[in-house]
Chains A and B, each alone.
Chain A
Amino acid sequence: MSLLEIENLSLSIGDVPILKNIELSIAPGEVMGIVGESGSGKSLTALAIMKLLPEGTMARGRVTFDGIDILSAPEPSMCRLRGDDIGMVFQEPMTALNPVKTIGEQVAEGIRWHTGARRADAEKRARAMLDRVGLPESKVPLSRYPHELSGGQRQRVVIAIACALRPKLLIADEPTTALDVVLQAQILELLRDLVQENRMSLLLISHDLAVVAEMADRITIMRRGAVIETGDTTRVLTRQAHPYTRQLAEASAHVPARAAAAAPPAAEPLLEVRDVVRDYPLRRRSLLARPGKFRAVDGVSFSLRAGQSIALVGRSGCGKSTLARMILALDRPTSGTIRFMGEDIATRANDALRPARRNMQVVFQDPYGSFNPRHKAERLVAEPLHLLDEPLSKAERRTLVAETLEQVGLSAADMDKYPHEFSGGQRQRLSIARAIITKPKLIIADEPVSALDVSIRAQILDLFADLNARLNLAYLFITHDLTAARAITDTVLVMHEGRIVETGPTETVLRHPASDVARTLVAAAPNLAQALETRQRRLANAEGSFGLPFDPHTS
C-alpha cells in the first residue's frame, strides 16, 4: 500500500489553473523524484501535500497520506502531521532559518511541540540529531545563530529540523540547488543515508535530471502543471519514450558546437593577471590587538588571449568572485598587477578606466536582479553606452540597441518592453546584449547559466559559443558547474582557497584531474550518463540474484 497517494489533484489560483490532474504515489521507503522546469508545478505539488498552499489556492482531487485525507483534514490535525510524519527541506538554506533564534531552539522547538518533551530532553534530542547530520557539538554548539553558519551547515540544520522526529515522508524541494557541487554531493549523501536509516520515503524535487537519476527509485516528469511521464527511473531515462523527457535529457548534457580554439597565440595577451593578492581586514579582537587579515585571493597569475575562453571553477568562497571584481576594476588588489589590453588597471584612477570598462563587460547570475524594473529594455541595454567618448544621437542609439538585440536572438521590437515582460532566458539574453553593446573584447560571466532551466541553459550556452565565434569575444567564465565550463571553454583554472591549484585544457582537466581539489569537483558533479550506468549495473546484479525485479508501478 502506498504511503502517499495523489489522485487527480488540480490546483487553481483564481481562474488560472496551476496543476492539472496530478497522479503520484509513493510507497513506504521509496525515493520518488519529481523533475521539471520552473513553473512546472513541482513545488506546489509538495506544498499541497503539506497543505501549506498560498492563500487563495483552490485544490480539487484527493491527497491521501497514511490513510488521512489531507485536503479535507482540519488545520489542527495537519499541524500534528507536519514536522512529525512529514518533514520538509527547502531550497534556500540562507533564508530558511529564523535569524533571531539559536539553531538549538529551532531544532528543539518541533520536538517539544510534537512530543511534549521538556526543554532539556528536547535539546538533548536536538543535539543528537545535529550530530547525526554532521554538525558536532565541538564545531556547532546549540547556541549558534544561523548567521554564524555557512550555507551548507544551514542546510544541514534544516535537514535536522525536518528529520528530528523521523517522519514517514521527507519532502526535499531543490535541497541542493543553492549549494556548490561538492556540498551538493555531501547533502545528497546525507539525505540518502537518513532515508535508509529511518526507512523514510523521500520525495525529491529537482530541476536537475542527473541529481534525480542518482537518487530516485522512480521518477515523475512534470511540465506546465501536468505529469508527463512517471515510472522506474532507469526505464524512463533510458527509454526516453516521451519527447519531452528526451528533450530534458539532451538539454542537460548539451555541448554547443564550436570551432576549436582558433586564434593563434597573439604576441600580447588581452588580459594578464600577475601575482594578484587581496586581503580583507578581520574584525579586531580587542581595541589594542592588530586586526588580522583574511587572504581571499592569494598570488593568482594567468593570462587570456583575444578570443580565448577560460573557465574559473571552484567551490563557493574560494575567491573566484573577488578575483573577478578586481579584473573588473571594482575592487583593487592588495598587491600584484592586472594588465588589460596592455594597460595596468589595478592602479588607475576611475576616470582613466573608461576605455578599459568599454572593452570589458560583465554578465551576472541573476538576470532579474541586475535590471532596474522601471526601465525599458532600450534604456537597460544602452546603459554601458555612457562609456563611449562620443555620445550617440537618439536615433543612432536606437539602431545600435536594435542591432544588438537581434544579435542575441531577441527582436528590435522588444526594446519597448519592461524586464518583467521577458522570460528568464530572454532576460539573460538581455543582459548579454547589455554586455556586448560597446563591442567589448572580454566578457566576464559570473555563473551566467546556473539560475536557468536546463533547456534555456542550453540555448544560452549556444549563444555564448556563437558570439565567441562571430565577435571573437574572450570569456572568463566563473562557475562551480563543470558541465557549463566544459561546454564553452578551452582552458580551465581550478581555484581553491584563493590559489589557482590546477590549470589546463578543459577536456583534459575534467577527464584526468590532477589535483585533489579538481578531483573532488569532478567527482561531485552530477552526471546523468554515469548515474544511469551505475543504476543498470546495480539492476543487473539484482536480477542475477532475484530474477526479474518486480515493479508494481510501471504499467
Chain B
Amino acid sequence: MIAFLAKRLAVGFATLLASSVIVFFVLEVLPGDPARIMLGMNASPETLAALRLEMGLDRPIPIRYLDWIMGLAIGDFGRSYTYSSTVMDLILERLGVSLPLAVIALTLSTLIAIPVGVFAAARRGRAADTITMGAAQVGVAIPNFWFALLLIYVFAVGLRLVPAGGFPGWGETLADNWQALKALILPAVALALPQAAILARVTRSAMVDVMGEDYIRTARAKGMPHRTVLWRHALRNALIPVLTIMGLQFAFLLAGTIIIENVFYLPGLGRLIFQAIIQRDLIVVEGVLMLLVATIILINLAVDICYALIDPRLRLSR
C-alpha cells in the first residue's frame, strides 16, 4: 500500500509539473499583454515599457517560467497584477467560500442520490422507479441558475429563512460562522440538485447491473431478505462507478460554479478566475489553474484509495 501511494504521488507530481508547463506557456503565448490592459489603450510606449520592466514581462518566457515555478515550490504564487494582494492570499480567501460550498453540495447530493438510486433499482420497472427516475431526469435538465432563483424566491424572499445573496465572511464567534454558513445553504442546494440527479441515475444503473449478478442469487439462496441483500451485498459492489462520478463532481463543484456564485454574489474561486481572465491577470489565472490541477490529482488519488478499500481485487494488482 505504501509503495502504491509513493508511486501514485510521484506520478501525480510529474503530472503537476507537466501541466505547469502547459498552463504557463499557453497563457503567455495567447495574445493580450497584461501591462497594456492595465494601462489602457492610450498609454505611451515609454510608460508601457517601464511597467513591463517593473512586472518582469520583458524577460524571456523560459526564464519567467523558471522564476514562477521556483516560487510555486516555496508557496509563493506571485502578486496579482490587478488586486493589490498576493495570489496566495486571494486564493485562500476565495477557497474559504468555494471549499465549504463544494463539500456541502457534494455531501447533500450524495445523501440524496444514493438512497434514491438504491430505492429505484430495488423497484426496477415499477411505478416508483419510473417516477423517481423521471424526477431525476427533470433534475438533470433544470438549469441550476433558474432553480437558484426559485430557491431565493421561496426561502429568502418569501420565508426569509436565509439571505438572498452575499457572503459575510467567516468570523470569530459561533454566531458569525452561523451567518456565513446560512449564506452558503441555498447555493449548496442549488448546486447539489442536478448533481444528485446525475448521481442517482448512476447509482440506479450500477445497482441494477449488480442485482443481476450470480452472487446476489447466492445471497438470496442463503435466505437473506431482498432489502438486506440490496444494502449489504449489492451497494458496495455498485459503488465503484458512483465514486468515479463523485470525484468528477467535486472537481467541478470547486471551480465550475461561476453561475451560482454570480446569482448569489459569492466571492468564490469561479468568479476570481473569471475576472482574472477578463483583466489578463495572468499570474492569478495560472495560480488558480495550478491549484485546481493539484486538487484534481489529489481527488483522483483519494478515489483510487477508496476503490481499493471497497474492492479487495484492486488492492494488490497495482
* Residues A84 and B312 in contact in the complex (CB < 8 Å), given A90-B214, A97-B215, A98-B237: no
Question: In the bound complex, what is the Cα–Cα distance between A147 and B312 (angstroms)?
Answer: 8
Q: Taking the nearest CB of chain A, how far is it from the CB of B314, in angstroms?
A: 10
Chain B 298-318 interface 0/1 with A at a Cβ cutoff of 8 Å (1 = within)? 000000000000111100100
Query: Would you give the 0/1 interface string for A68-90, flagging 1 where the beta carbon is closer than 8 Å to chain B?
Result: 00000001100111111001101
Does A109 contact B237, Cβ atoms closer than 8 Å? Answer: no
**A50 in the interface (beta carbon within 8 A):** yes
User: Is B1 part of the contact surface with A, judged by Cβ < 8 Å?
Assistant: no
A95–B218 Cα gap in the complex (Å)? 10
Q: Cβ of A96 and Cβ of B223 under 8 Å apart?
A: no
Residues on A with C-beta less than 8 A from B3 are: 286-287
In Å, the complex CA distance between A101 and B310 comes to 10
Given contacts A100-B236, A100-B312, contact A52 B217 (CB under 8 A): yes
Contact status B223-A88, CB under 8 Å: no
User: B235's closest neighbor in chain A, by CB?
Assistant: A100
Q: In the complex, are the beta carbons of B214 and A75 less than 8 A apart?
A: no
Tell me the minimal C-beta distance from B231 to chain A in angstroms.
Answer: 13
Within 8 Å CB of B218, what residues of A? 90, 96-98, 106, 158, 161
Given A52-B217, A99-B237, check contact A145 B312 (CB 8 Å). yes
Distance in Å: Cβ of A150 to nearest Cβ of chain B: 15
Q: How far is the CA of A176 from the CA of B77 in the complex (A)?
A: 66
Q: Which of B125, B213, B224 lies in contact with A109, CB distance below 8 A?
A: B224
Residues of the B chain whose Cβ atoms lie less than 8 Å from the Cβ of A81: 223
Whole-angstrom distance from the CB of B210 to the nearest CB of chain A?
A: 10
CA of A287 to CA of B3 in the docked complex: distance in angstroms?
8
The answer for the CA separation of A238 and B235 in the assembled complex, in Å, is: 51
A87 pairs with B233, CB closer than 8 A: no
Q: A52-B217, A287-B3 are in contact. Are A147 and B223 (CB under 8 A)?
A: no
Is B29 close to A, CB under 8 A?
no
Q: A52-B217, A90-B217 are in contact. Are A113 and B222 (CB under 8 A)?
A: yes
Residue B26 interfacial (CB < 8 Å):
no
Closest to A97 in B: B215
Number of A interface residues in the complex (CB < 8 A): 35
Q: Say whether B225 faces chain A, with CB atoms less than 8 Å apart.
A: yes
* In the complex, chain B residues whose CB is within 8 Å of the CB of A84: 223
Q: Is the CB of B223 within 8 A of A113?
A: yes
Does B27 sit within 8 A of A, measured CB to CB? no
Interface size for B (C-beta < 8 A) is 24
Docked-complex contact A82 and B237, CB < 8 angstroms: no
Give CA–CA (A83, B214) in the complex, Å: 16
* Interface contact A100-B237, CB-CB below 8 Å: yes
| B235-278 near A? 1/0 per residue, CB < 8 Å | 01100000000000000000000000000000000000000000
Check B220 for interface membership: any CB of A closer than 8 A.
yes
Complex-state Cα separation, A98 to B225, whole angstroms: 16
B289 adjacent to chain A (CB < 8 Å):
no
Q: Which residues of A have CB within 8 Å of B223?
A: 79-84, 110, 113-114
Chain A's closest residue to B316 (CB) is A283
Cα-based distance from A95 to B224 in the complex (angstroms) = 18
Q: Does B156 count as interface, using CB distance less than 8 angstroms?
A: no
- B99 within 8 A of partner (CB): no
Question: Residue A161 contacts which of B222, B233, B313 (CB distance < 8 angstroms)?
Answer: B222
A79 touches B312 (CB 8 A): no
Give residues in B with beta carbon < 8 Å to A.
Answer: 3, 125, 213-215, 217-226, 228, 233, 236-237, 310-313, 316
Q: List 13 A-B contacts (CB under 8 A).
A: A79-B223, A82-B221, A83-B223, A87-B221, A96-B214, A96-B217, A99-B215, A109-B219, A109-B222, A113-B228, A147-B313, A162-B221, A283-B316
- Given A96-B217, A101-B233, A113-B228, 12 more pairs with CB closer than 8 A: A50-B221, A52-B217, A75-B225, A75-B226, A81-B223, A90-B217, A95-B213, A95-B214, A97-B215, A97-B218, A109-B219, A110-B224
Closest 7 CB pairs of A and B: A83-B223, A110-B222, A83-B222, A95-B214, A82-B223, A98-B215, A88-B221
